[in-house]
């Protein structure tokens, strides 16, 4: 009996002394990394309005300068849209590049726009249809406004000032094709005609500004 108990005791000691088998803990489930939602499309006014700009061309040289006119006001608000709900007139998008004399985009160029409303009147008390913006990293600008009316003695036009960072200011105007008033406007310049696309409810006007950097 003692011998049997002794053998059992030895077996227990052997079992306890046996090397412990290394068992790897279960692999931790990796944390799911969700893709960061891209804001590019949401914030890109060109994509949102189905606008694709053609590769810039500068065959016509520098953009012509024109008179500032009597109604320029400094201190306009920074904004891409001058359009306000209920404004008379057809909505208009004006888009394009700001380029230097070598046809290279100028990111950060300052553009200041002002114009008459659809009835040909300027807001000289406030900043309706007035605003400035900066060209994006590709040198593009985007303006939402309304198609201007004829100011007495003038054809339809939009005023603009363009300034590259630390550069000189170009003051000019934009005109629209096939307007009867173009032929009788004493300062009309066909080189400043936009390329106009009628999309039914709104127009898209394309124009590239080319200025000394």
**Residue-range domains of the chain with CATH:** 66-210 (2.60.130.10)
Token output for 210: 């080319």
Longest dimension (CA), the chain: 130
- Residue numbers in the chain where pLDDT is lower than 70: 1-43
Residue with tokens 């106009």: 196
CA dihedral 144, 148, 154, 155 (to 10 degrees): 90
The b-or-e profile of 176-202 (16+ CB within 10 A means b, else e) is beebebbeebeebbeebbbebeeeeeb
Q: What is the pLDDT of residue 43?
A: 55
pLDDT score, position 44: 87
Sheet harboring 110-114: ordered strands across? Answer: 130-134, 110-114, 157-163, 170-175
pLDDT of residue 78: 98
Q: Which helix (H) or strand (E) holds 197?
A: strand 195-198
> Is 204 within 8 Å of 95 (Cβ atoms)?
yes
Burial class (CB in 10 A: 0-12, 13-18, 19+), 26: exposed
pLDDT of residue 157: 98
The pLDDT of residue 59 = 82
């Amino acid at each position: 009996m003692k011998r049997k108990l002794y053998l059992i005791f030895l077996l227990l000691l052997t079992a306890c002394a046996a090397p412990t088998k290394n068992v790897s803990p279960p692999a931790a489930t990796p944390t799911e990394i969700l893709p960061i939602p891209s804001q590019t499309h949401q914030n890109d006014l060109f994509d949102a309005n189905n606008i694709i700009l053609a590769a810039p061309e500068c065959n016509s040289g520098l953009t012509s300068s024109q008179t500032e006119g009597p109604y320029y006001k400094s201190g306009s608000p920074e904004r891409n849209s001058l359009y306000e709900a209920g404004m008379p007139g057809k909505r208009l998008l004006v888009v394009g590049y700001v380029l230097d004399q070598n046809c290279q985009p100028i990111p950060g160029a300052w553009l200041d726009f002002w114009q008459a409303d659809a009835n040909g009147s300027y807001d000289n008390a406030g900043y309706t249809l007035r605003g400035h913006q900066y060209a994006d990293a590709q040198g593009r600008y985007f303006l939402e406004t309304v198609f201007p009316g004829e100011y007495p003695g003038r054809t339809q036009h939009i005023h603009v000032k363009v300034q590259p960072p630390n550069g000189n200011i170009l003051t000019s105007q934009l005109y629209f094709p096939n307007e009867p008033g173009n032929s009788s406007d004493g300062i009309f310049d066909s080189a400043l005609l936009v390329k106009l696309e009628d999309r039914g409810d709104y127009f898209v006007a394309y124009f590239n500004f080319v200025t000394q950097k």
